[in-house]
Structure 1
Amino acid sequence: MVNQRIVAYKRYTTSTFFVALFTGALAILFSQCKPGQLKGDADNGGLTLPGGFEGLVVADSVGAARHLAVNSNGDIYVKLRGSYADGSNVALRDENGDGKADVIKKFGVYTDSMGYGTAMRIYNGYLYYSSTGDVFRTKLIPGELLPEKNSELILHDDYQNDPHGYNHTAKPITFDDKGNMYVPFGSPSDVCQQLDRIPESPGQDPCPQLAEHAGIWQFNPDKTNQTIKDGKRYATGIRSAVAITWNPQDKDIYIVQHGRDEMHRTWPGMYTKWQSALLPAEEFLHIKEGADAGWPYYYYDWMQGKKLLNPEYGGDGKKEGNGSKYEQPLIGFPGHWAPNDILFYTGNMFPAHYKNGAFIAFHGSTIRAPYSQSGYFVAFVPFKDGKPSGPWEVFADGFAGMDTILNTTDAACRPMGLAQGPDGSLYISDSRKGKIWRIIYKGYTANFGAPQLAAMEKLKTTSAHIKNPDEVADNLQKTKLTGGAEIYSTYCGVCHLSNGKGDGSRFPPLDSSEYVLGDKTRLINILLNGLQQPITVKGKQFNNLMPSHSFLTDKDLALVLTYVRQNFGNNATEINEEEVAALRTKISAQKK
Structure 2
Amino acid sequence: MNRIANSPLKIVPFFLLVVLLTNCRVADDGTGTNTDSENAGLLVPEGFEVTIVADSIGKARHLVVNDNGDIYVKMKSSDDQKGALALRDTTGDGVMDVVKRFGNRDGNFAETEMTIHDGYLYYTSSLRVYRQKLIPGQLLPDAEVDTILIDDHEHGDHEHNTKPLAFDGKGHMYVPFGAPNNACQEPKRTPGIPGLDPCPILENHGGIWRFEDDKKNQKQGDGERFATGVRSIVAMSWNPADDHLYLVMHGRDDLHRLFPNEFSPWENAVLPSEEFMRVTEGSDFGWPYCYYDHIQQKKVLAPEYGGDGETVGRCREYDDPILGFPGHFAPNDLLFYQGDQFPEHYRNGAFIAWHGSTIRSPYPQAGYFIAFVPFENGKISGEWEVFANGFAETDPIINTSDAEHRPSGLAVGPDGSLYITEDRNGRIWKVSFTGDKAAFGEEQLARMREEKQTASNIRRPDPEEDNLQKGEIAGGEQIYRTYCASCHQRDGQGTDRFPPLAGTDWVTGDKNRLVGVILNGLEGSIEVKGQQYNNVMPQHSFLSDEEVAEVLTYIRQNFDNDASAVTPEEVNDIRQRMQN
- Do they fold alike, i.e. is TM over 0.5? yes
SS at match of 2:218: coil
Q: Would the aligned equivalents of 1:51 and 1:453 in 2 still touch at CA under 8 Å?
A: yes
Q: Output the amino acid matched with 1:137.
A: R
Match of 1:132 in 2: 126
Q: Helix, strand or coil for the counterpart of 1:322?
A: helix
Residues 66-465 of structure 1: pairs in structure 2 closer than 5 A? 66-113=61-108, 115-159=109-153, 161-162=154-155, 166-465=158-457
- State the partner residue of 1:18: none
Separation in 2 of the partners of 1:347 and 1:378? 17
Are positions 1:41 and 2:36 aligned together?
no
Asked whether 1:558 is paired with 2:549, we answer yes
SS of residue matched to 1:545: strand
8 A contact 1:517–1:572 mirrored in 2:
yes
Q: Which position in structure 2 is the counterpart of 1:506?
A: 497
CA distance in 2, matches of 1:60, 1:46: 13
Shift of 1:83: 4.6
* Cα distance between partner residues in 2 of 1:528 and 1:542: 19
Alpha carbons 2:172, 2:211 under 8 Å: kept: yes
Aligned partner of 1:12 in structure 2 is none
- Give 3-state SS (helix, strand or coil) of 1:245's partner: strand
Q: How far did 1:109 drift?
A: 3.8
* Alpha-carbon distance between aligned partners in 1 of 2:483 and 2:244, rounded to the nearest angstrom: 40
5 Å matches for 1:461-500? 461-500=453-492
Correspondence for 1:524: 515
Q: Who is 2:534 aligned against?
A: 543
Q: Partner letter of residue 219 of structure 2?
A: T
| 1:426-450 superposed Cα distances (whole Å, 9 cap, x missing partner) | 0000011110011000001000001
Amino acid across the alignment from 2:232: S
Deviation at 1:418, TM superposition (A): 0.4
Deviation for aligned residue 1:507: 0.2
Q: Which one of 559, 584, 588 corresponds to residue 575 of structure 2?
A: 584
The amino acid of 1:507's aligned partner reads F
Deviation of 1:96 after TM superposition, in Å, equals 2.4
Structure 1 residue runs of 5 or longer lacking an equivalent are 1-38
One-letter code aligned to 1:231:
G
Query: What TM-score, normalized by structure 1, do the two folds share?
Result: 0.91
Displacement after TM superposition at 1:177 (Å): 1.6
Query: Which runs of 5 or more residues in structure 2 are unaligned?
Result: 1-20, 25-37
* Distance in 1 separating the partners of 2:500 and 2:100: 31
Q: What do residues 221-249 of structure 1 show as CA deviations (whole Å, max 9, x unaligned)?
A: 21111111111100000011110000001
Native 8 Å contact 2:250 2:275 kept in 1: yes
| 8 Å contact from structure 2 (residues 104, 145) kept in 1 | no
Does the 8 Å contact 1:40/1:54 carry over to 2? no
Does the CA contact (< 8 Å) of 1:40 and 1:440 recur in 2? no
Q: Aligned residues: percent identity? A: 54
Native 8 Å contact 1:47 1:397 kept in 2: yes
Residue type of the alignment partner of 1:521? N
SS in 1 for 2:469: coil
Contact 1:41 1:54 in 2 (8 A): no
Q: State how far apart, in whole Å, the 1-side matches of 2:82 and 2:306 are.
A: 48
Deviates more, 1:375-384 or 1:75-84: 75-84
User: Is 1:495–1:507's contact at 8 Å kept on the other side of the alignment?
Assistant: yes
Structure label with greater radius of gyration: 1
1:97 positional shift: 2.3
Report the CA distance between 1:262 and its aligned residue: 1.1
Given that residues 428 and 436 in structure 1 are in contact (C-alpha distance below 8 angstroms), is that contact kept between their aligned partners in structure 2? yes
Task: Give the drift of 1:162.
Answer: 4.2
Contact 1:166 1:189 in 2 (8 A): no
1:575 aligns with 2:570: no
C-alpha offsets along residues 317-347 of structure 1, whole Å, 9 cap, x if unaligned?
1101132331111110000000110000000
C-alpha contact 2:353 2:407 (8 A) present in aligned 1: yes
Q: Is the 8 A contact 2:301 2:308 kept in 1?
A: yes
Deviation at 1:407, TM superposition (A): 0.3
How well do the aligned residues superpose, as a CA RMSD in angstroms?
Answer: 1.2
| CA shift for structure 1 position 287 | 0.4
Find the aligned partners of 2:78 and 2:267 in 1 and give their Cα distance: 37
* 1: CA distance, partners of 2:299 / 2:323: 12
Q: Shift of the alpha carbon at 1:560?
A: 0.6
* Residue among 50, 56, 80 paired with 2:51: 56
Residues 450-483 of structure 1 show CA distances to partners (whole Å, capped at 9, x for unaligned) of 1110001101111111100110011111312211
Is the CA contact (8 Å cut-off) linking 2:356 and 2:366 kept in structure 1? yes
1:180–1:218 contact (8 Å) kept in structure 2:
yes
Task: Give yes or no for contact 2:78–2:532 (8 Å, CA) kept in 1.
Answer: no
Q: Mean Cα displacement is larger for which, 217-226 or 321-330?
A: 321-330
- Residue correspondences, number: 547
Per-residue deviation, 1:286: 0.4
Paired residue type of 1:59: A
